[in-house]
Structure formats: C-alpha cells, structure tokens
Amino acid sequence: MDFVTLGELLMDMVPAETGRRLTEVSAFSPKPGGAPANVAVAGARLGARTAFLGKVGEDLFGHALAEVLKKEKVDLRGLRFDADARTTLALIAQPTANLNEYIFYRNPGADQRLRPDELDRDLLAHTRALHIGSLSLSDEPSRSATFEAVRLARQAGAFISFDVNFRPALWRAQADAVAQIAAMLPNADLLKVNETELELLTNTREVEAGSALLLARGPKLVVVTLGADGSYFRTAHASGYAKSFKVDAIDSTGCGDSFVGALLTQVVQFGLENIEAHIQDALRFANAAGAITSTRRGAIPALPTAQEVNEFLKKLLPHIGLLSADA
C-alpha cells in the first residue's frame, strides 16, 4: 500500500440549512464522513493505493459506508463490523459562518471499539505510511489499537502521519485531549495541525514559533494549514509558506482531508527523507487539492482526481511541470 489510514468512518448528519443551531435545524441528511476515511478516499482518487482500518456498526449505515469506500477503491480488508454498537453519527450545524456545532452519537460508537487484536497486521506490515487522527485516541480500546497499529507500521519501516483534527465535543476535558495527543507526538513523522490545534498544543498561534515547538517534540515534518491562505511547513533545516489559490470557496468541509491525502501521495512518492527538496511541489499539489475541495459541497464528493488537480495547476501555473501520485 502507499498509505493506510486508521480511525473513524461515520455518518455526518448534515443540516438542511445554515444559520441555525443544532437544536433548531429543520432536518439532517446522512453523508459519509470521518477524517481518516476521507483521507484514504482522497489518496485513492489521486491514484494512490490506500486502505482503511476501523470499525462500523453491523447496521445499515455501516454497510452503506463500506460500499462508498469500496466504490472508491479503498482496500477494506481491515474494516470490522460490530454487532453490539452502532455506527457513529456526527450531528452538525453551522449557526454562523465561523462556527460549527457538533454532537457525536458514540457512547460508545463502533469506531471506538476497534481492538488491537482486530488490526490487519498484514496491511500494516506492507505499507509505506500509516495515517491517524485524534478521534481514535479519545477512548479505549481504539486508543490501544491506534498505538499498536503505529508500533506495527513503524516496525515494518513505514512513516507515521498524524492529523490532530481536534474535536472538543469528544473529550471530557481539553486537558485529556492535550495529554493523549502529546503521548502520540513522539511517534509522528509527519504532523499536520491547523491554527487552532497549533495554539492548543503550543499556546501560540504564531506559526513560526509554534511549529518549531512541535518539531522539537519528534516529527520530521510539521505542516500548518491556514485555510484560504494555504499552508506552512517546517523541517529540521527549512521552513516557509506555500500560498493557496484564489477560488470561489463555498464549503470548507473536507478541505483538510483533501490536503492531507494529496500531501501523503507526494511524500510517499518522494520519500519522507527527501521531502525537503520537494516540499514546495508537494505543498502546491496539496494546496490545489484543498482549494478545489473548497469549491464543492460535501467531503467525499468534493475530493479531486489527479487529473483535476493537474488541470487546475496547469491552468493557474502553466509554466510548471505536472505532478501526480504515480508520476
């Protein structure tokens, strides 16, 4: 595999309208979601070989979600079905343009019940990278399963990619989240945060200073996403901004996952150890994928193919060479 992702595959219950609080929304419709699952699809659309490890309920939603990933050519050998817990639901509202409200129906949801003994060891022994988030760290047994998957993948020579993807509604206390994320940091080779997560972990929103503090905690590459402004990276020897592209954005859902999926296809292709020489190309590709996703509604339906990213780049930057996951 080019990369394996581990974590939540769930139903986002998307509100019929914005401008209303969760308690006031007129209706919700189910849409496939879960950041690590989106990242696996993002990679597959870009031509990478990806697999997803996780657990859904033995119910209609669980099977429908599996079908979506299967259609996208994500390898599902590592997907488990739980007869005793439901597929997790994330109810979402957007009362104002800058505020999302979430309630997760997962007490426990099937995704939290993935056990270490249910991991597909063969997949973890044959992948170039393992990508995780923080939702699987919030409770047992999925926390132990995540740490075990990280151990197995590292042992087999893969690098670990960690998107903090902090969701306050899932944690009893913010301090718990910070502690669990901090425990994972030394294992992460590639760390991706947004500005809120940067502040959560370093007490500063200042990307230069904050990224340096994060780099000192283990990762070889730290990437901070900055929405419409693009992204920032730091390695041991280099750092800098990569501007995104001006687009008519209508929905930021899935942008971060699109960005990470695209970045992973590039890092896997160049090799993490050589990434400094290729970082601007890799971030340009990832920014383009994120920018395209912001122009479309939803998460999975908004993820671009390699051809779409390359055409987008060619149109905006006709002087550069083409990049793709399998170039």
Q: Given the rule CB under 6 A, which residues bind ligand ADP?
A: 194, 225-228, 230-231, 244-245, 247, 249, 252, 255-256, 259, 287, 290-291, 294
**CA nearest neighbour of 181 among 149, 214, 137, 115:** 137
Nearer to ligand ADP, 127 or 244 (CB): 244
Query: Structure tokens of 168?
Result: 């306050």
Write down the H helix ranges in 139-294.
142-155, 174-184, 195-202, 207-215, 255-270, 275-294
Nearer to ligand ADP, 185 or 226 (CB): 226
Q: How far is the CB of 263 from ligand ADP (least distance, A)?
A: 10
Contact 294, 250 (CB under 8 A): yes
Q: How far is the CB of 152 from ligand ADP (least distance, A)?
A: 27
**CA nearest neighbour of 158 among 320, 326, 4:** 4
Q: How far is the CB of 91 from ligand ADP (least distance, A)?
A: 19
Q: How far is the CB of 289 from ligand ADP (least distance, A)?
A: 7
Which residues are within 8 A (CB) of 51 and not within 5 positions of it... i.e. 6 or more apart?
Answer: 1, 4, 5, 40, 74, 75, 76, 77, 78, 120, 123, 127
Q: How far is the CB of 195 from ligand ADP (least distance, A)?
A: 8
Cα–Cα dist 158/156, whole Å: 6
Nearer to ligand ADP, 191 or 291 (CB): 291
Nearer to ligand ADP, 110 or 302 (CB): 302
Give the β-pairing of 99-105 and 89-96: antiparallel
Nearer to ligand ADP, 64 or 226 (CB): 226
**CA nearest neighbour of 103 among 91, 111, 115:** 91
Q: How far is the CB of 96 from ligand ADP (least distance, A)?
A: 16
Nearer to ligand ADP, 5 or 244 (CB): 244
Cα–Cα dist 150/145, whole Å: 9
Nearer to ligand ADP, 171 or 312 (CB): 312
Q: How far is the CB of 53 from ligand ADP (least distance, A)?
A: 21
Contact 289, 46 (CB under 8 A): yes
Cα–Cα dist 35/260, whole Å: 10
Cα–Cα dist 242/238, whole Å: 13
